[in-house]
Homo-oligomer: A and B are copies of this chain.
Amino acid sequence: MRRSKAANLVTIEDIARQLGLSPSTVSRALNDSPLISERTRQRVRAAAEALGYRRNELARALTKGTLRFIGLLIPDITNPFFAEVARGVEDIASARRYGVLLCNTDESLAKEQQYAHFLREHQVSGLILTSPTVDDPCVQELLHTGTPLVLVSRITHVSEVSYVCTDDVQGAILAVEHLIRLGHRAIGFIGGPPEVTPNQRRLQGYRQALQAHNLPFREEITRHGGSFTQEAGYIIMKEYLQLNSPPTAVFAANDLIALGAIEAIVEEGLSVPEDVAIVGYDDIPFASLPGVELTTVAQPVYEMGALAAEYLLDVLEGKRRKRLWKIFRPRLIVRKTCGAALARGRLTSNQADQ
């Protein structure tokens, strides 16, 4: 007895039989092969339509050795930054008939590895990573498999790897110099996951800016919450507020952290920007809300995702070979969490600038 076929599936053979053709001819017709007569193509198309034929992409992928899926590894889709990246990726992918597999890693190596295996086992054609330490052995393994891959927002030292990101060092400098210009001298930093490149580079920019303006670097107001979340920002800010001389301004490694910090400040009965000024990073949509109006550093997030996908698919389809190294320029968005440019600011900053 025949194996019970998967739910009443119309195959290429069915239509071949009905038309008295061979399966290969039908296959060719369906794939718009040049070596097929217009008439057969028509007939095949018609019959396919009539029978309700749907191509089995799995079978196709089996012979081709690759599935038209790309894996999207991000820490957390719940973070608006990554949601926006995802949107960019998905828009491009779906337009080009690729599926995108959502993989949340929570910055956890274990999850990352689990997914790396999963993706490999499913022969996905390519990867977009916003999460991993690319030095992860499993990712390396995928790389060796030949699976093309592009990093978004994160960068790496593995030189063959493509990436698209924003100049985070520069972005941080923009942010901190803005604070300095406003007269702040005790400027703190609240970081996310310390091991992650965007965090590192923002920290680096922060230090450079301080140094350039002869401002002291203070360990006790340069802390990491461990993740890019509101809770992280909230907790660290609370701690800063207990200090003998708390910072008068804080540069947060991303907007979520900034928002959490603001929460902490308000909860202590203080206010932003009067008591402490805040700058965030990313310019997530909610940063512009009335009542929030967070001063922040913007990245072209959607474009970054879209560009990464565009490039990746080009590579997959053999339209490109060179690697992509794209660095967008960050933009400072001045809103209300740092106060206006006050006179006191002018003075101090001139003094520092000399």
Contact = CB atoms under 8 A, between A and B. Distances in A.
A109 interface: no
A101 B104 contact: no
Contacts of A78: 80, 83-84, 87, 285
What are the 5 closest A-B residue pairs judged by CB atoms, nearest first? A6-B65, A291-B291, A266-B290, A7-B146, A102-B102
Interface in A209-256: 230
A59 interface: yes
Nearest to A264: B290
21 contacts: A6-B123, A9-B65, A56-B121, A59-B62, A77-B77, A77-B86, A77-B90, A78-B285, A94-B114, A94-B115, A94-B118, A99-B101, A99-B122, A100-B101, A100-B102, A102-B102, A262-B291, A263-B289, A291-B291, A291-B293, A292-B292
Contacts of A319: none
Given A87-B78, A99-B122, A118-B99, A58 B62 contact: yes
A119 to B, nearest CB: 8
Contacts of A111: 94
Q: How many copies does the complex hold?
A: 2
Interface in A2-60: 5-9, 54-59
A104 B87 contact: yes
B117 A54 contact: yes
B91 A104 contact: yes
A97 interface: yes
Given A57-B121, A77-B87, A94-B114, 9 more contacts: A6-B123, A54-B121, A69-B101, A90-B102, A263-B289, A267-B290, A291-B292, A291-B293, A292-B292
B115 A102 contact: no
A76 interface: yes
A260 to B, nearest CB: 10
Contacts of A84: 78
A151 interface: no
Contacts of A145: 7-8
A113 interface: no
A253 to B, nearest CB: 18
Contacts of A67: 58, 122
Contacts of A61: 58
A262 B288 CA distance: 12
B7 A65 contact: yes
B103 A101 contact: no
A325 interface: no
A118 B66 CA distance: 16
Contact of A86 (B102, B146, B147, B266): B102
A87 B76 contact: yes
Interface in A96-132: 97, 99-104, 111, 114-115, 117-118, 120-123
User: Which of A65, A67, A266, A291 counts the most B-chain CB atoms under 10 A from its CB?
Assistant: A291
A240 to B, nearest CB: 17
A255 to B, nearest CB: 10
A115 B98 CA distance: 10
Nearest to A68: B122
Nearest to A67: B58
A101 B97 CA distance: 13
